[in-house]
Structure 1
Amino acid sequence: MDHSFTDPASLRAIAGPCETDQVNALKPLIDAVRRRHRHAVRAVVYYGSCLRSGDPTSGLVDFYVIVDRYRAAHASRVSAAANQLLPPNVYYLECDTGVAMLRCKYAVITLDDLQRGVKHGRLSSLWGRFAQPVAIAHAANDEIREALRACCGQAVITLLDASLPALQPPMLPAEAFGAALALSYGGELRTEGGDRGLRIAEQDRPEYARRLHAARGHLTFDIDQCPDGRIAWRPSAAQCRSARRAWRLRAPAGRAVSVMRLAKACFTFDNAIDYAAWKLERHTGVAIEVTPRLRRHPLIYAWPVLWRLYRDGTLR
């Protein structure tokens, strides 16, 4: 994929507004994140299931925390080096507001790495996330805010350019976007079913259709509107072959990177094993016993558990 960056105003138009009325409710978490990572925090981007539900108390809030430099964001040189080598680092935080307990997991990444990732990233984790509606819950200034909106618009272009040639037209716009998201999630090690991307797009069909139509003039192939409302994209045969080959390679590579990030999270994520077990049971109904030995030494004793879950098809 070698798109040149579209002009920022067009990218921001593809992303649309990146706002939420949940900002006041999220303020205790955002303030705690900013205290933990000090002056390095440039922005906090809110995404995921709590944003979609409209209730930050309904589960675990998901953030991307945008920093200027990894070394400035971390007290430990080892943590900074791990973040530089395999971004992002993932952390857990909770705040008792006196009214409700707010919990979040957040990923730390520099703006430079984010900008490169949504445009040139070979794996889909960044552009798959940022192609979906997100909210900029905190930004140091308007320049940072607009740069993040441009990243979101670029992520839409990258996702559709990478995915649509591997899919069979025609489809309704929201269905095509959902199928592209399904490919993206398929490139990760996840507990949710393979239809996750389709279900996410189904929740807000007008917005996903708007995003696709806003991006269509910036793709590397043409898209035609059918009389019945569906769209048909016309990539070249070479583009189709390249896209299918890329997704065949992306899936195992993405899962391998997911495993490495899980291993790294054992050092950065408080109660990582308990959280993983809770999420696994929540999404699949499969319960695993978290023994004291597994909790103390996850890098030694978690591998047989992961292999069994993958072999049984619980992890995909």
Structure 2
Amino acid sequence: MPNALVDLVRAELLQPADPRAAAMAGAIAARYPQAARAVLFYGSCLREANLDGLMLDFYLIVSDYTAAYGKSWLARANALIPPNVFPFEHQGLIAKYAVLSEADFARLNSVAADNVSVWARFAQPARLLWAADDLARQRAIVAVAQAAPTLLSLARPMAEGGDEVLGLWRCGFTLTYAAELRAERKGRSLSIVDADPERYRQLGEAALAQGLPPSPADAPKRWRALQRRGKWLSVVRLAKASFTYAGGIDYLAWKINRHAGTAITIKPWQRRWPLLGAVTLLPALFRSGAIR
């Protein structure tokens, strides 16, 4: 689908990244030689000059879950509640990577998604650091190019400023932050746009020019459903990560402390029983406002 929006997304995704992040992307793909199709680097570490001590974020896109895992419970878990998330270390850096099939990645970037977690992230800057071939690269680019139109389409009926493009972005990110358990401080959703307004202006104008997907007839109802499902999915994914992610509860505490300025300390029993430990954190985190 050659158009201005896809061209902008392609140019951004194919920009170079820190060589150590690129090496890590290749190493992640190498763990799945029969299934890996693309590896994308996203998140706050894109803006960091020094990656030491940081947790890098990747998405591994695979052909399908059976090819990735064989006929194991991991394939079923990834299909039922995507994505699976795993820790990774390479060349002194630490990361986590989420696994999605090509089909799920395309769906979850589109208005057909039943939660915001993928398109809210890929409406923001990312890098495509590894692809199996030209077809895999193009499919990843086209999937990511759906994210901005999805956000803007859903935000449009809720925005007070009409089609003022930066206002649409700010409204959209504010709504997505209310649709997940987030560790970031209040105002983080607005600072995303303010960090690079020209980037969001260009992408937004290109998306509006090509025509957005139809907005929902009852946008407030749609957002309430996204918020309910998003909070529920956040808890379920946390529970699932206690089985797929060694040290997941320590990562949860680290992320909350880093973004919310809290000083959560994990007790030995919470480390021993991470599922129960993670669940017991939630009431205190809600009361403190560390997650919303």
Aligned to 1:31: 26
CA apart distance, 1:142: 1.4
Name the CA shift for 1:285/1:105 in 2 (closer, same or farther; >3 Å): same
Residue 43 of structure 2 corresponds to residue 52 of structure 1:
no
Residue 236 of structure 2 corresponds to residue 260 of structure 1:
yes
Structure 1, unmatched stretches of 5+, are 1-6, 222-234
Name the CA shift for 1:54/1:218 in 2 (closer, same or farther; >3 Å): farther
* Structure 2 counterpart SS, 1:39: coil
CA apart distance, 1:173: 2.8
Q: Distance in 1 between matches of 2:266 and 2:277?
A: 10
Query: Given residue 129 of structure 1, which amino acid in structure 2 is its aligned partner?
Result: R
Name the CA shift for 1:197/1:16 in 2 (closer, same or farther; >3 Å): farther
Q: If the length of structure 1 is used for normalisation, what is the TM-score?
A: 0.85
Aligned to 2:122: 130
Aligned to 1:271: 247
Name the CA shift for 1:115/1:183 in 2 (closer, same or farther; >3 Å): same
Name the CA shift for 1:111/1:11 in 2 (closer, same or farther; >3 Å): farther
Name the CA shift for 1:300/1:174 in 2 (closer, same or farther; >3 Å): same
Aligned to 1:108: 99
Structure 1 segments of 4+ aligned residues over 6 angstroms from their partners: none
CA apart distance, 1:311: 3.1
Q: Distance in 2 between matches of 1:264 and 1:302?
A: 11
1:11-30 equivalences in 2 (<5 Å): 11-17=5-11, 18-22=13-17, 24-30=19-25
* Structure 2 counterpart SS, 1:37: coil
Q: Distance in 2 between matches of 1:62 and 1:252?
A: 25
Match of 1:216 among 208, 224, 230: 208
Q: Distance in 1 between matches of 2:45 and 2:274?
A: 28
Residue 135 of structure 2 corresponds to residue 143 of structure 1:
yes
How many positions carry a matched residue from both structures?
A: 290
Query: Given residue 68 of structure 1, which amino acid in structure 2 is its aligned partner?
Result: S
Q: Distance in 1 between matches of 2:149 and 2:174?
A: 16
What is the RMSD computed on CA atoms of the aligned residues? 2.2
Answer with 86-95 or 294-303: which moved more.
Answer: 294-303
Aligned 8 A contact 1:174 1:206 in 2 = no
Residue 161 of structure 2 corresponds to residue 169 of structure 1:
yes
Q: Distance in 1 between matches of 2:253 and 2:105?
A: 29
Q: Distance in 2 between matches of 1:93 and 1:143?
A: 26
* Structure 1 counterpart SS, 2:128: strand
Name the CA shift for 1:264/1:306 in 2 (closer, same or farther; >3 Å): same
Q: Distance in 2 between matches of 1:216 and 1:58?
A: 39
* Structure 1 counterpart SS, 2:115: coil
Q: If the length of structure 2 is used for normalisation, what is the TM-score?
A: 0.91
Identity of aligned residues (%): 36
1:219-274 Cα offsets, whole Å, 9 max, x none, are 459xxxxxxxxxxxxx9xxx686112211221121011000001111111121111
Aligned to 1:118: 109
1:81-106 Cα offsets, whole Å, 9 max, x none, are 110110000111112x3xxx211111
Match of 1:283 among 238, 241, 259: 259
Aligned 8 A contact 2:64 2:101 in 1 = yes
Q: Distance in 2 between matches of 1:294 and 1:8?
A: 51
Aligned 8 A contact 1:175 1:201 in 2 = no
Aligned to 1:191: 183
Aligned to 1:4: none
Query: Given residue 88 of structure 2, which amino acid in structure 1 is its aligned partner?
Result: L
Aligned to 2:226: 250
Residue 72 of structure 2 corresponds to residue 81 of structure 1:
no
Aligned 8 A contact 2:55 2:94 in 1 = yes
Aligned 8 A contact 1:11 1:150 in 2 = no
